[in-house]
Amino acid sequence: MEILAFGVQADEQPLIEQAFAGHHEVRCLDVFLNEDTAPIATGYEVISTSVNADLNHRVLHTLAAGGTRMVTQRSTGFNNIDLPVAERLGMTVARVSYYSPYSVAEFAWTLAMAVNRRIVRAAIRTRDFDFRLHGLMGRDMHGRTAGVLGTGKIGEAFARIAHGYGMQLLGWDVRENPACLELGMKYVPKDQLLAESDLVSLHVPLMPATLHLIDADALKTMKDDAILVNSSRGGLIDAAALVTELLAGRFSGVGLDVYELEAGLFFLDKSLEVIEDDVLARLITFPNVLVTSHQAYYTEDAVTEIVNATARNVVDYKAGRRSENVLVPRT
């Protein structure tokens, strides 16, 4: 059987081909799955999608009409998939429930330190042989407070790094992580965490209850010189409200690896086009904001785990087995 994989990055393709070798053939496409590209999947029983795929009800109906019976997404998040519709159509849906938490946690810290120590600005200056230090002053993280919203595997890994810096730890989650408690983390209400933290990092999934978790009121609760990092899902932050606060001169730095309306932009070359998203365009212009294109997960270790799990999902599907990765079981 041949698998059709959408949204495959050039670095990712050999890893996908290796993962499926000996099991199934795989055809890799660099285009993302959406309403325009869904007809390409006609005749493919199994497809694999990326995190920026759009699997709304129309896309799922097109896939089902074309013979697709299984979708396996190469990510942990699945907020882009209309699961009730997939279930009604009798489609099996799977994801990757686990991969290296260090890839995302380490990148979140990379963003935090890059905006704290003005690394991008410094690098641009030195390329022009401008070696002045004016405007590049950062702060020690040691002794300051890190607030971790979401203390699962990635949040825990982030907290361990913060502990290594010698920071005080505040946490917020629906349940306490014993490993974080051992690090000295104190669990507090969200507003208290935001008010007392010098660095706030988001590590919660996107769902109706967490949409705009960091809204206008939450942003106003934060310290004026705080650092805010989001390497989870763009919809956790009300980006328009964030722009308003940045225009008021607030926040020492903001590092964003995700953006609420990133689909159709991230992973693509838009350098010769006019960006119609005024909020994103404005965010990128702030000197204290660093935006990257959803690359926190993008290490050889993590991507290898992701594609291997994706291949196992297909093998399990064909064998009639159900794993922890299955969101909608085979009927």
Question: Is 118 one of the annotated active-site residues of the chain?
Answer: no
Backbone torsions φ then ψ of 60, nearest 5 degrees: -65, -40
Block residue for tokens 């300051």:
144
Tokens of 187: 């669990």
Tokens of 232: 């989870």
Beta bridge partners of 227: 199, 253
Put the strands of the sheet holding 92-94 in their side by side order.
25-28, 2-5, 46-49, 70-73, 92-94, 326-328
DSSP string, 144-157: SEEEEE--SHHHHH
Question: Is 61 one of the annotated active-site residues of the chain?
Answer: no
Backbone torsions φ then ψ of 214, nearest 5 degrees: -100, 90
Question: Is 262 one of the annotated active-site residues of the chain?
Answer: yes
Question: For residues 16 and 243, what is the distance between their CA atoms, to the nearest angstrom?
Answer: 38
Catalytic residue, from 233, 245, 250, 260: name it.
233
Question: For residues 9 and 11, what is the distance between their CA atoms, to the nearest angstrom?
Answer: 5
> How many residues are listed for the chain in this entry?
331
Maximum Cα interatomic distance, the chain, rounded to a whole number of Å: 65
Catalytic residue, from 12, 245, 260, 262: name it.
262
Strands 289-291 and 253-256: parallel
3-state class (DSSP) for residue 169: strand
Catalytic residue, from 95, 250, 294, 312: name it.
294
Catalytic residue ranges:
233, 262, 294
